[in-house]
Amino acid sequence: MKAARHTGRVAWRLGVCAVLLGWAFHAIFLNEARQLHESRGGAWAALAWWEQARLAWTVGPRALAGVLGMIRPLEGVLSLLFMGATILLGAVRWQGVLRAQGMDLPTGRVLELSLVAHGFNAFLLGSTGGDLVKAYYTAAETHHLKAEAVVSVIVDRLLGLLAMLLFAAAMMVPNLDLLTRQPRLGVLALVALGMLGGLLVLGGLSFQGGLSRLWPGARDWLRRLPKGETLERALEAMRRLGRQRGVLARALAISMVLNLACVLQIGVLARGLGLEIPFRLLLVLVPIIICLAALPITPSGLGLRENLYVLALTVPAVHVPPAAALSLSLLAYAGSLAWSLVGGLVYLRFRRGHPAPPSEA
């Protein structure tokens, strides 16, 4: 029964992914077919819906393949390098959090775990599903700091999302004219600000505490939960990290450089496709889309991310053709998938660590 429920949940998520991708492709293919049909003197509105759909899935894929083939090799290679830089910077940030928790893993091992986690991101929910795998294998590296090991992964992700939303909020200032004139962009900005507010509250409670002062029985209730002792240790580990302001500041600084690398990856791909997208707009759109795609809705955020790029880049002020916007998103995902394959190769020779005994803490 439990296995059947799990299979049902996975099937439902995959179904959502398929619907979102199908919706994005169908809408874009319809637009391509309509333009071609009308350029030949045909009346698109006179066609039955099934004729429109048939033409869309006949003409659309060829048009999309043509746009994907437009990417110049230099920009394609640069985008892969920028994607690799985000993984490396993420590993450096996480290593600092690990050390603050008393786990001094070698740089090579940290990078290996990061690549394996990125490999699993290709098919787990959201764009952060690999964090579950990373937490599992990191906990296996120690006998005595398992809760702290898991906390390091949670904190690293929390700091990454927080820094990305702060980055996006700062970049909203030079884009206020676009955000106020284009309702779709304005809605995305408001959603990002809402997520930022929620993360600031969550971060404050996690790193500074305060809930037990408002609710005196919170700790007693926590201890009665399954694995309550482990949860309490995890909270204490986050409180200790919150007192290390230097560690948090360094992690946020690394995250800002990582955010810029994410934007540059999309920027060089847009240039390689010949798209004229203001770079200042990418500075705010890319972080917002990455954060929304991180929500555990579809595997690797696939479908959700593509719809967001099409929604944002086809506004009149930017006027990117829908097929080109979809191609940009798919090429970005292809770069991430290439590094996921590297992570898969690393996983083939991956061995679980030998936990250090408590005496070596």
Q: Angle at the Cα of 299 (from 165 to 128), degrees rounded to 5? A: 40
Q: What is the mean pLDDT of residues 166-174?
A: 95
pTM here?
0.77
Q: Where exactly are the structural domains of the chain?
A: 2-41+56-68, 74-360
Question: 273-277 — which CB contacts under 8 Å span 24+ positions?
Answer: 273/67, 273/70, 273/71, 273/324, 273/327, 273/328, 273/331, 274/70, 275/320, 275/324, 275/328, 277/313, 277/318, 277/320
Q: What is the mean pLDDT of residues 268-297?
A: 90
User: What are 330-342's pLDDT values in tens digits?
Assistant: 888 888 878 888 8
User: For residue 358, what pLDDT is reported?
Assistant: 45
User: For residue 245, what pLDDT is reported?
Assistant: 79
Return the structure tokens found at 333.
């995902």
Q: What is the mean pLDDT of residues 197-205?
A: 80
- For tokens 């045909």, what's the residue? 42
Mean pLDDT across the chain:
79
* pLDDT band, very low/low/confident/very high, at 217 (cuts 50, 70, 90): low
The proportion of the chain whose per-residue pLDDT surpasses 90, expressed as a percent, equals 27
How deeply is 244 buried, as exposed, middle or buried, from its count of CB atoms within 10 A (0-12, 13-18, 19+)?
Answer: middle
The proportion of the chain whose per-residue pLDDT surpasses 70, expressed as a percent, equals 75
User: For residue 7, what pLDDT is reported?
Assistant: 72
Asked whether the predicted pLDDT for residue 357 surpasses 50, the reply is no
